[in-house]
Amino acid sequence: MTPFPALAGRRVVLGVTGGIAAYKAVELCRRLVEAGAIVSPVMTDDATRFVGEVTLSALASEPVRRSLWDGPEPIPHTRLGQGADAVVVAPATARFIAAYAHGMSDDLLTATVLATRAPVVVCPAMHSEMWDHPAVQDNLELLRRRGVVIVPPAQGVLAGGDVGTGRLAETQDILVALHDVLTGSDVTGAASGGGVTGGAAGRDLQGRCVLVTAGGTREAIDPVRFITNRSSGKQGHALAEVAARRGASVVLVTTTALPVSAGIEVVRVNSAAEMESAVLQHAEIADVVVMAAAVADFRPKAPSTVKLSKSDGVPDLVLEPTPDILSELGRRRPAGQVLVGFAAETHDIGARARAKLQAKDVDFVVANNVAAPGSGFDHDTNAVTILGMDGSSHEVGLRSKEAVAHAVLDTVAARLAGGSPSAQDADKDNTDRSKR
């Protein structure tokens, strides 16, 4: 059975514009057809500079259309628009986004999206500087207000060899977004988990201060050796990037050297003690704290001040617990602050995460099976379960870490909006019920 049953038998117009990510539309087309969709491909002239129309024609349900004038019917855009159950544009260039936002129908694809009443899913892909430009963001915001679903680009290596935000979203996340719009799921909320945004949800953290931690701490054995873990920091960095794009003022406390977008305040640390100091300093004014870092549980009690050598024999390492930063945050946090912890586990995932949820006085714990294929440490993908103090539980299947970040922040945004009780409120409710 296909994991996207809502796509079976549905007509999907697949728009492809002229960006380097156009080659990824081939895989998207194949996956749509495998899911049972009837795919009508529409390519811009510039898209054919990156991928041949014969390729898409061979994989799709019908030949590629490129022009308002190359078919027997006089109004092909109307036929395509009226016959579509959904339209997806992947990749969507800055030029297409601008034309769509301002109603400029000078080719078949823009005419089709203006002529349809079906849901439209737009998947931008461009260089980071273009993605960050106010003109592009304003055009996307205009489309969101009109109900267009935006699947934001991912972070990673770009066509020019540098690293930043602008890569086309993963095919799986685009399929999730399409499936959700066809089933009527809340594509702006955690139900999709795909990082899609529509309506006003794209800036739902505007005016909020979000503190995020990332990476594995390093606890010194001697000046050149340390105890650490396999955390890459990718999930924490994705959370920071997504929070910033959703309007938040972001402070990122990280142990990694991963690139960070302009506008995010970065505090680089190494040890658990350094992280504790930085986090407690910035948490006082934060509306949201997301402890995604993998803080070491133990550290050498008396690290050597000089490099240890084999000739010295095996060192007698005595370990002591590191600071419990999450518990201290729970003890200190001001009223209204949303606190999110992470539980990276290899067994008894649910039970161990729920125990952490209760013990740390947090609103949510993101349970992460780091032993599962493709999930957790050092992967570009993740699969988590978001557990709430209110008893809620939301599973986010395997997808990009950026998409997981959106799912976590969807939950946080709902909490800030009053959609979920805080840990303290839940404790009070439980106490009140016990008295009754």
What's the pLDDT score for residue 183?
78
The pLDDT value given to residue 10: 93
Q: What is the pLDDT of residue 413?
A: 94
**What stretches of 327-429 adopt beta strand conformation (E)?**
338-345, 364-369, 381-388, 393-400
The residue-averaged pLDDT of 67-77 equals 76
2 pLDDT band, cuts 50/70/90, is: low
Six token digits for residue 314: 């095996």
> What are the φ/ψ torsions at residue 135 (nearest 5 degrees)?
-65, -45
Q: How confident is the model at residue 74 (pLDDT cuts 50, 70, 90)?
A: low
Q: Helix, strand or coil for residue 380?
A: coil
In this predicted structure, the answer to whether residue 217 has a pLDDT above a threshold of 50 is yes
Residues in CB range of 252: below 8 A, 6 or more apart: 212, 213, 214, 236, 237, 240, 260, 264, 265, 266, 267
* Rg of the chain taking only CA atoms, in angstroms: 24
Strand pairing partners for 39?
12
Is pLDDT above 60 for 187?
no
Catalytic residue among 139, 229, 382, 430, which?
Answer: 229
Instruction: For each of the domains in the chain, give its residue range(s) and CATH number, in order of start.
Output: 5-202 (3.40.50.1950), 204-422 (3.40.50.10300)
Predicted pLDDT of residue 419: 58
Q: Which of 2, 46, 45 is nearest to 20 (CA)?
A: 46
* pTM exceeds 0.85 for this model: no
The predicted-structure confidence for 329-349, as pLDDT tens digits, reads as follows 999 999 999 999 999 888 988
Over the range 210-226, which residues count as b (16 or more CB within 10 Å of their CB) and which as e? bbbbbbbbbbbbeeeeb
Higher pLDDT, 241 or 433: 241
CB atoms within 10 A of CB 27: 13
Q: pLDDT per residue over 299-339, tens digit each?
A: 999 999 999 998 888 888 999 999 999 999 999 999 999 99
Please state, for a pLDDT cut of 70, what percent of the chain lies above it: 90
Residue 382 is a catalytic residue: no
